[in-house]
C-alpha cells in the first residue's frame, strides 16, 4: 500500500517540473525503483492511472529502472549486484562473491529507494 503515497509524491514532482518547464502535457516518466524498496511497478501503474487524472502527467508512459541491491565481499572487497533470481536459477547462493566464493554483505543504502529520474513533455 506504500505505492499510493509514492505516486502522490511523484505527481507533485511531475506537476512542478511541468510548471517549471512550461509543459502542457507529460508524455514519459522514468522512475528508479530499488530492488529492496518493496515498491511494485504494476501497483504504481494502477494507482497512477487513477490518481493522475487531471494532472499534466495524466496518461504518461511510465518507465521503470531497477536499482539493484549491492553486496560487498567481506574477504576481497568486491562489490556485486544481489541477483537472487538469477543466482538460484543457476544453482548459486546469491550472497556468495563471484570473484572469490566467500560471503558478501549488503551495502547500506543500495536498492532501497524509489525516485523520479526524468520527465519528457511538451
**pLDDT tens track for 4-15:** 999 999 999 999
Same domain, 60 and 93: no
Do 69 and 110 touch, CB atoms closer than 8 A? Answer: yes
Do 44 and 62 touch, CB atoms closer than 8 A? Answer: yes
State how many domains the chain has: 2
**pLDDT tens track for 10-66:** 999 999 999 999 999 999 999 999 999 999 999 999 999 999 999 999 999 999 999
Q: Is the pLDDT of residue 1 over 90?
A: no
**pLDDT tens track for 99-117:** 999 999 999 999 999 999 9
Same domain, 42 and 80: no
Do 118 and 30 touch, CB atoms closer than 8 A? Answer: yes
Range of the domain at 25: 3-67+109-121
pTM recorded for the entire structure: 0.85
Same domain, 57 and 75: no
pLDDT the model gives residue 41: 97
Same domain, 55 and 96: no
Question: Cα(9)–Cα(70) distance, rounded to whole angstroms?
Answer: 26
Question: Cα(35)–Cα(86) distance, rounded to whole angstroms?
Answer: 14
Within 13 Å and on the Cβ side, how many CA atoms surround 14?
35
Amino acid at each position: 500500500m506504500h505505492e499510493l503515497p509514492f505516486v502522490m509524491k511523484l505527481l507533485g514532482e511531475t506537476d512542478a517540473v511541468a510548471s517549471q518547464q512550461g509543459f502542457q502535457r507529460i508524455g514519459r516518466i522514468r522512475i528508479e525503483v530499488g530492488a529492496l524498496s518493496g515498491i511494485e511497478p504494476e501497483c504504481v501503474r494502477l494507482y497512477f492511472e487513477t490518481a493522475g487524472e487531471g494532472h499534466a502527467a495524466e496518461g504518461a508512459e511510465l518507465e521503470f529502472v531497477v536499482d539493484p541491491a549491492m553486496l560487498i565481499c567481506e574477504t576481497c572487497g568486491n562489490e556485486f549486484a544481489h541477483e537472487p533470481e538469477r543466482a538460484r536459477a543457476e544453482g548459486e547462493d546469491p550472497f556468495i562473491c563471484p570473484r572469490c566464493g566467500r560471503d558478501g554483505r549488503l551495502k547500506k543504502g543500495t536498492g532501497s529507494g524509489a525516485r523520479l529520474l526524468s520527465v519528457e513533455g511538451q
